[in-house]
Structure 1
């Protein structure tokens, strides 16, 4: 077991940072990798391009690509579960980092807001996995409801997180935190625009069913997934500065320990 002294923290930091960076990159990128594998397999066999009103499509939706076909479904669920486990393991430490950073810079108690935000984040992960467990071809209503809750949670989380960092950027001279706030605002705005585009394409497809609109819907759906993944990276990459032994609880987990540790790295 590694000691939690200040000297050992400095000695091990570079190794810890590299390991955590690798775990984080794997965790956030797996859904995108799974998306492209499943879509490529779907297109190669041409089994999921048709809809109930037209076969003139070049791209499948994610739901169609991973619904019941193998190996797409197994690939997607495996990648998604691994990514979700990594996010949930990291989430407690990120929660602590948020509490420390906002308390230090704003001199205000935002713990309730931060707690709400991360409860929503946990719900987002849960319903994302439930959406994958319910194939749209056989359990359409359950799949649709989980998708709606997942999207709602993702929007609420981004709004809360963007608001917090926008507030933080006005109370700190840290260029890093100000840059992070700008990136989060941009990603949140693009995500909302993408969701609107998805909704419009879906409405046009279900109402008029013109050729290729479903493919456009699918393209915006892919973009929304990628934007969400990028946003999650900017939430979790703060953890790169935290030693691996702290993330997995291999040291004193007291409030005083967390304060001393975060003061040395933030």
Structure 2
């Protein structure tokens, strides 16, 4: 069970108890629903606006930044990301607590756990920044938020894969090994399409070829979707755990 640092089942009265697997799926589904809604709405309602670039060549898919900067897409995206951000912070600290307990007396892994926590927090902050500052409002802030999100997500995935590599050396658990395999594959998948997105974006800006921006947008979609899939591997990591909201007894209230 996931509990706060001052909480105890013996002393606190549970108000809400949720399986961590359900909590994880719900948290990831919020941005997934927002992502799909924004892309589909942009394609059917704002195709010309969402696929327009300074090159003025044919494109067939909107970039994520373009899709979430239009109305009403921006409000759908902001609602979904805002609602999922608090659980993301909780999951980051849950992982840190798990690593800290698992690697007692192992300084390198303890330090790596701290770096993983910082990367997870930075990733979430970057996502909030690029969400609430659209590319049509303040482009530089939006771009910096995107850079922070991508860089932090890569660091977070790499550190997580390393920690789970160590964990799987000392366990025979099927769930742990499955989680590690999927984490590693999704990390490599994410890196590959990050490179593809960067290549297509640069090529589009340099040569203004028809359809290249579409390849950039598609690569960007796969980067975001693989990031979401990476986070949902927590389904195996905390399969038997619960999230609990508890009410302190009368004597503990101030």
TM range (shorter): 0.7 to 0.9
Q: Which residue of 1 is the match for residue 94 of structure 2?
A: 93
Distance in 1 (CA, whole Å) between partners of 2:246 and 2:155 is 29
SS for the counterpart of 1:201 is helix
Q: Which runs of 5+ in 1 are unaligned?
A: 10-14, 252-266
| Structure 1 pair 249–118 and aligned structure 2 pair: CA distance change class (3 A) | farther
Aligned to 2:67: 65
TM-score by length of 2: 0.85
TM-score by length of 1: 0.81
Matches within 5 A, 1:9-158: 16-17=18-19, 20-45=20-45, 46=47, 47-67=49-69, 69-103=70-104, 108-109=106-107, 110-158=109-157
The CA distance in 2 between the partners of 1:60 and 1:92, in whole Å, is 34
Greater strand share, structure number:
2
Runs of 4+ in 1 over 6 A off after TM superposition: none
1:4 to 2:9 alignment: yes
Mapping for residues 108-257 of structure 1, pairs under 5 Å: 108-109=106-107, 110-235=109-234, 237-245=236-244, 248=245
Q: Per chain length, whose mean CA-contact separation is higher, i.e. which structure has more relative contact order (CA < 8 Å, sep 6+)?
A: 2
Q: CA RMSD in A?
A: 2.4
Deviations 1:66-117 (A, max 9, x none): 11x21100000000111111111333223212222344xxx63432221221
Q: Which range moves more in the overlay, 86-95 or 197-206?
A: 86-95
Cα 1:143–1:152, aligned 2, differ >3 Å: closer, same or farther?
Answer: same
How many positions carry a matched residue from both structures?
A: 236
In structure 2, the residue corresponding to 1:86 is in which secondary structure? helix
**Cα distance change of structure 1 residues 116 and 250 upon mapping to structure 2, 3 Å threshold:** farther
Distance 1:183 1:204 in 2: 31
